[in-house]
Amino acid sequence: MGKIHRQTTEHDQKWTYTDVPIREYRADAVKGVTRQVLVGVEEGAKDFIVRYFTVPPGGRTAYDQHEHQHGVVIVQGSGRVLLGDAWHDIGVGDSVFTDANEIHQFETVGNQPLGFICVIPAWAEHPELKPQRQAAPAAA
């Protein structure tokens, strides 16, 4: 059965969603970055996960690289994104595709938080859901 999480805005201009736990990263390099899973396994999604990230002013996400792709849409603030070895300016309405194994990092520019929706395959956080490749049938 479907589920709706309503978006709200707090007094500090940071978006949040009702009934969704906020996970804050504690490592110094990414201090203040938060994540909320908006659609995931708990909602019944088996193929994808939709997450909302907030990066505080002056903050950045981890310098990262994964086996999975990301689809990102910027919904608040402005910043820049590292894709491979090049930085690119980003703002509200921009979308970002990060390919598998591509180095990436998001960084806030300005005095507002950077907020973005990020879609990944469900198996990225739940490896047991990764589709198993089947061998190709033998040629006749």
Structural domain boundaries in the chain: 7-127
68 phi and psi, to 5 degrees? -105, 160
pTM above 0.75, yes or no: yes
pLDDT over threshold 70, residue 12 = no
pLDDT band of residue 140 (cuts 50, 70, 90) is: low
For 100-129, write each residue's pLDDT tens digit: 999 999 999 999 999 999 999 999 988 888
Share of the chain above pLDDT 70, in %: 85
Higher pLDDT, 110 or 133: 110
**CATH node for 7-127:** 2.60.120.10
Residue 1: the pLDDT is 60
Q: Which tops the pLDDT comparison, 128 or 83? A: 83
pLDDT at 136: 67
